[in-house]
Amino acid sequence: MALEQLLNALLLGGMYSLVAVGFTLFFGVLDLVNFAHGEMATLAVFVALALFGVVVGGTAWGAVLLAVLVVAGAGVLVERLALRRLRAAPPLLMLLATVGVSIVLREGVRLLYPAGSNPQVFPPLFPEGALSVGALRVPYDTLAILGGAWLVIAACDRFIRGTRTGAAIRAVAQDREAALFMGVDLDRTVAVTFLLGSALGAVAGLLNGAFYGIVRYDMGLVMAIKGFSAAVVGGLGSFYGALVGSLVLAAVETASTAYLPGGSQLRDVLSFLVVIGFLVLRPTGLLGERSVEKV
């Protein structure tokens, strides 16, 4: 049972990490908490639902890939139309803009998708059956989602640390003015950041839909709260902190569900108590760094 719960924690942590890394990228490059990030997950699953059976060959994976591309492009469009002109404005204005975009996307999905207010059935993406190792029985979809989530995170880490564009993202996150003096194209770097972050949110939403089988128009709100909380626990602005924070929250929720009486009702309470504890005792998170600002 302990091994099964470990796999569940890694699965849940992988889905949280996809959202948390997106928050970390946005905060690192723009010092922005993008509250529209969770809605990219919602948009991805509903775009995929609309595309199932329409794409060439009728393959579900074709619809999934196209949904990720559409949402990645939507993230770039949101930055270009709603946020770019607010970079020099007080941070609160940009924050409010992301809240407005979040409401527009969420309500747009609810109103424009047929019966969008109702829960929708998301078709399975992976084969049925399970892998049995002794007394342990792990469904194929759990293995696929677990491996897929962490593979995407590893690819994202490789992109940020092993490419010229990734170096530009890290440079802007570390010191924007110095990066500009060195010739970094800020507009292009921010656009790539929104492209990458929105794609990660889309993958998180699609994997969530494939695992639970039911999606809702407001699912992105819950995913955003969990992903942001994980980023805060790990250290907002730290890539690896987002991963550690996601695993911490996933472990708390999985253990409470498995080992506490009535734990399934208490999982969210306990996980957010952990978040509050970090905010009080260690506001910078597990891997966050203290920052000093000269006045």
DSSP code at position 282: -
Q: What is the pLDDT of residue 90?
A: 87
Q: What angle do CA 170, 239, 230 make, to 5 degrees?
A: 145
Q: Is the dihedral of CA 74, 77, 79, 83 positive or negative?
A: negative
Show the beta-strand stretches assigned E in the chain. 120-121, 130-133, 136-139, 214-215
> Taking the mean position of all CA atoms in its chain, how far away is CA 71?
13
Q: Give the start-to-end residue ranges of the domains of the chain.
A: 2-219
Q: What is the pLDDT of residue 103?
A: 95
Q: How many C-beta atoms surround the C-beta of residue 17 within 10 A?
A: 31
Contacts of 221 (CB under 8 A, 6+ apart): 38, 39, 102, 106
10-residue averages of pLDDT along the chain (295 residues): 84 93 91 91 94 68 91 95 88 91 94 92 85 79 90 94 93 89 91 95 94 92 92 89 93 87 83 90 79 49
Residue located via tokens 């509250």: 35
Give me the pLDDT at residue 58, please.
Answer: 53
Report the pLDDT value the prediction gives residue 289, as an integer from 0 to 100.
Answer: 61
Query: What's the pLDDT score for residue 295?
Result: 45
Within 10 Å of residue 25's Cβ, how many Cβ atoms?
A: 28
Phi, psi of 287, deg, nearest 5 = -115, 10
Residue 135: its pLDDT value, please? 75
